[in-house]
């Protein structure tokens, strides 16, 4: 260890930092999984939703609004995460997603 610079020796991962990395990695993967599952659910359930709610003319709006909202909020959440902390913003975003999903599930019509 004599030839290794001090900066490298002191930044070697310890058990606690490795464990923290794994926890953060798993949390981010769960968030990505939620996003991927949601996109799949919307694509496969949309015909049934349109049939049940009687909004065939609104099918294009549902897909367009979903994608537009998802793309428009990405940079917004990034900036807010820089200002207020990424963990807090991620938890708020997941909470908003759950509330939005519940609202969509309780909808009685397409609008």
Would residue 21 count as lying in a domain? no
The number of domains in the chain is 1
Q: Is 17 helix (H, G, I), strand (E, B) or coil?
A: helix
Integer-rounded Cα Rg, in Å, for the chain is 21
Top-confidence residue, 11 or 49: 49
At which residue do the structure tokens 């990395």 appear?
A: 21
62-108 pLDDT per residue, tens: 778 878 888 888 889 889 999 999 889 888 988 888 898 888 788 78
Does a structural domain hold residue 22?
no
Residues near 21 by beta carbon (within 8 Å), at least 6 away in sequence: 13
* Phi, psi torsion values for 38, nearest 5 degrees: -60, -45
Indicate whether this model's pTM tops 0.75.
Answer: no
Give the Cα separation of 111 and 46 in Å (integer): 14
What is the domain extent for residue 45?
Answer: 34-111
Both tokens of 27, joined, read 């949390």
Any domain includes 28? no
Task: List, for residues 2-28, the tens digit of each pLDDT value.
Answer: 566 665 555 555 556 788 888 888 888
Taking CA 55 as the corner, what is the angle to CA 105 and CA 44, rounded to the nearest 5 degrees? 55
**pLDDT value, residue 80:** 93
Confidence of residue 30 (pLDDT cuts 50, 70, 90): confident
Residue 78 lies in a domain: yes
Alpha-carbon distances, residue 92 vs 75, 98, 105 (angstroms): 15, 10, 20
């Amino acid at each position: 260890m004599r030839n290794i610079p001090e900066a490298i020796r002191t930044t070697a991962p310890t058990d606690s930092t490795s464990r923290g990395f794994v926890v953060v990695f798993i949390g981010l993967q769960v968030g990505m999984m939620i996003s991927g599952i949601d996109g799949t659910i919307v694509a496969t359930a949309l015909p049934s939703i349109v049939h049940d709610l009687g909004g065939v003319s609104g099918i294009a709006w549902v897909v367009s609004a979903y994608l537009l909202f998802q793309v428009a909020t990405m940079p917004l959440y990034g900036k807010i995460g820089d200002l207020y902390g990424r963990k807090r913003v991620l938890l708020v975003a997941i909470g908003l997603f759950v509330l939005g999903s519940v609202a969509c599930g309780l909808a009685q019509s397409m609008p």
